[in-house]
């Protein structure tokens, strides 16, 4: 199969502002197989290139926009900055939704993979526009309560690398990225320095919006299948337990790569995201209610057997979608309208540590 090529383009918005994005299409695009990738602060869409190529090879159309104030996208005006203070993450969500409509991907549901700030925006979009989102994969645990958000706000809502005449902000940015996990790769660190220096003002805008987002309430409103991935040395790792507390039917798994997992553990992300979401979505149920005490014993048993099979696949390594489909059909799933509903939760399901040391999968 020929290697796909990532292309760059702009979409025109109101006020003659342009949103920059990267995209790559499979050889045979299908409108029901679309993934939108939302980057973290203060990176850009370039951080998703490896994942985009992997998913394009699996037949997905992939789109990754630069947030306003980041990468090559427009900078919000002073008036828009005031709007962001009032509307928060919804302002960014609305900008992206305008772009999605212009791309023509809102005719069917699409998947979202979001990293840190991008994960917060994925929650915002999935909660407020459920008819558009098929699933979300969050990289970084962004479901944070009010008190913790205020603490994070004090730590990160500081313009540490505002441009200075003596250029000291460049060294500060270099040192900061080393502490955040990019120090092991000179190429990655250099790329991120460029992105972070460019987005010093945009970083403040999105962080202000994220820390004001009522993340727990929004996360509860998300009805589509949800997978949350996080590295143990990610700044958001401490909030992973809150994910399960707020949304028991969410899947969680441990990956590697600190705050730069998109580059440092792309294989782990692709493996878990593809396996988990493909496995569940093949059940042909858009809603995945939690495993409830009122469910029948047969339903529970069938569900737990399915979860056991899922965990084994996560431990043993990626298997083809064909094998996944066969496993589900063997258990009675995906055989038409008589298929039982898959219920996923934590009532009796337990976690299992991967033997390769990569992931602690909880379903």
**87-123 per-position pLDDT tens digit:** 999 999 999 999 999 999 999 999 999 999 999 999 9
Q: Do 233 and 303 have their domain in common?
A: no
String of DSSP letters for 318-353:
---HHHHHHHHHHTT-SSSTTPPPP---SSS---EE
Q: Report the pLDDT value the prediction gives residue 308, as an integer from 0 to 100.
A: 53
End of a domain among 281, 304, 331? 281
Q: Do 312 and 277 have their domain in common?
A: no
Q: Do 119 and 255 have their domain in common?
A: yes
**171-225 per-position pLDDT tens digit:** 999 999 999 999 999 999 999 999 999 999 999 999 999 999 999 999 999 999 8
- Cα dihedral across residues 59, 132, 221, 328: positive or negative: negative
Q: Assess contact for 89 and 121: CB atoms under 8 A.
A: yes
End of a domain among 249, 264, 281? 281
Q: Do 216 and 82 have their domain in common?
A: yes
Q: 90 versus 14: which is more confidently predicted?
A: 90
Q: Report the pLDDT value the prediction gives residue 34, as an integer from 0 to 100.
A: 95
Q: Does the pLDDT at position 136 exceed 50? A: yes
List phi, psi (to 5°) of 353. -85, 135
Q: Does the pLDDT at position 321 exceed 80? A: no
Q: Do 237 and 291 have their domain in common?
A: no
Q: Do 261 and 362 have their domain in common?
A: no
Query: CA 135, CA 292: separation in Å to the nearest integer?
Result: 21
Kindly state the helix (H) or strand (E) to which residue 107 belongs, with its residue range.
none
1 occurs within a structural domain = no
Helix axes 78-87, 200-212, angle to 10 degrees: 20
What is the domain count for the chain?
2
268 occurs within a structural domain = yes
**22-50 per-position pLDDT tens digit:** 999 998 877 778 999 999 999 999 999 99
258 occurs within a structural domain = yes
Q: Assess contact for 100 and 108: CB atoms under 8 A.
A: no
Q: What is the pTM of this model?
A: 0.81
What is the average pLDDT score of the chain? Answer: 81
2 occurs within a structural domain = no
Q: Do 246 and 320 have their domain in common?
A: no
Domain of 75, CATH number, reads: 3.40.50.1820
Note down the domain range covering 352.
Answer: 287-363
% of the chain beyond a pLDDT of 70: 75
Q: Do 120 and 147 have their domain in common?
A: yes
Q: Do 221 and 269 have their domain in common?
A: yes
Q: Do 337 and 262 have their domain in common?
A: no
Q: Do 77 and 25 have their domain in common?
A: yes
Q: Do 313 and 264 have their domain in common?
A: no
Query: CA 256, CA 8: separation in Å to the nearest integer?
Result: 28
84 occurs within a structural domain = yes
């Amino acid at each position: 199969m020929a290697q796909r090529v990532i292309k760059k383009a702009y979409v025109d918005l109101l006020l003659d502002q342009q949103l920059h994005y990267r995209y790559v299409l499979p050889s045979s695009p299908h409108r029901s197989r679309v993934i939108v990738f939302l980057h973290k602060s203060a990176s850009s869409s370039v951080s998703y290139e490896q994942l985009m190529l992997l998913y394009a090879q699996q037949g997905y159309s992939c789109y990754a926009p630069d947030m306003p104030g980041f990468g090559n996208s427009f900078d919000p005006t002073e008036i828009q900055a005031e709007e962001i203070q009032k509307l928060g993450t919804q302002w960014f969500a609305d900008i992206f939704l305008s772009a999605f409509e212009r791309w023509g991907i809102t005719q069917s549901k699409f998947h979202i993979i979001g990293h840190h700030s991008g994960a917060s925006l994925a929650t915002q979009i999935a909660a407020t526009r459920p008819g558009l989102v098929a699933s979300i994969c969050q990289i970084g645990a962004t479901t944070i309560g009010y008190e913790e958000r205020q603490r994070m706000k004090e730590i990160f809502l500081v313009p540490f690398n505002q441009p200075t005449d003596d250029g000291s902000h460049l060294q500060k940015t270099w040192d900061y990225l080393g502490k955040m996990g990019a120090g092991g790769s000179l190429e990655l660190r250099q790329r991120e320095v460029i992105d972070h220096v460019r987005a010093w003002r945009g970083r403040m805008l999105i962080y202000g919006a994220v820390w004001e987002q009522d993340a727990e309430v929004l996360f509860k409103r998300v009805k589509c299948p949800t997978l949350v991935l996080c590295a143990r040395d990610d700044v958001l790792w401490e909030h992973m337990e809150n994910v399960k507390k707020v949304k028991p039917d969410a899947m969680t798994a441990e990956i590697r790569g600190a705050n730069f997992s998109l580059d440092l553990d792309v294989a782990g992300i692709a493996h878990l995201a593809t396996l988990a979401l493909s496995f569940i979505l093949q059940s042909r149920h858009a809603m995945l209610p939690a495993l409830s005490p009122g469910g029948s014993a047969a339903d529970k048993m069938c569900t737990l057997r399915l979860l056991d099979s899922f965990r084994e696949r996560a431990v043993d390594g990626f298997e083809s979608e064909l094998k996944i489909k066969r496993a589900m059909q063997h258990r009675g799933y995906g055989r038409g309208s008589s298929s039982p509903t898959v219920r996923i939760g934590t009532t009796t399901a337990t976690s299992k540590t991967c033997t390769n040391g990569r992931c602690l999968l909880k379903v």
